[in-house]
Amino acid sequence: MLEARGIRFSPRAFVDHHAFKEADLPVDSAVLMTEKDAVKCRGFAGADWWAVELDVSPETGFIDWLGARIKQ
């Protein structure tokens, strides 16, 4: 999503539900993260840290599958 908008970045992956610490991310650089992770970093976030709103939707196949299960 970021690449599609021409944003250059260096990705850093953390496991889901990671308990972020201040030392995990650079305080003196811009940081983009999900809204879910931004909440965890609120207490120590740098001035140039940003939450990226994700635009997510389930695939059509999943919606069809779920609809069929609900009707059962």
The confidence score (pLDDT) of residue 28 equals: 86
- The full set of domain ranges for the chain reads 24-72
Beta strand 31-34 with 49-52 is parallel
Q: What does the pLDDT read at residue 43?
A: 94
Cα-based angle 29, 34, 38 (whole degrees, multiple of 5): 65
Instruction: Specify the residue for token string 């650089």.
Output: 29
Dump pLDDT digits (tens) for 20-61: 999 999 988 899 999 999 999 999 999 999 998 888 889 999
Over 90: is that where the pLDDT of 9 sits? no
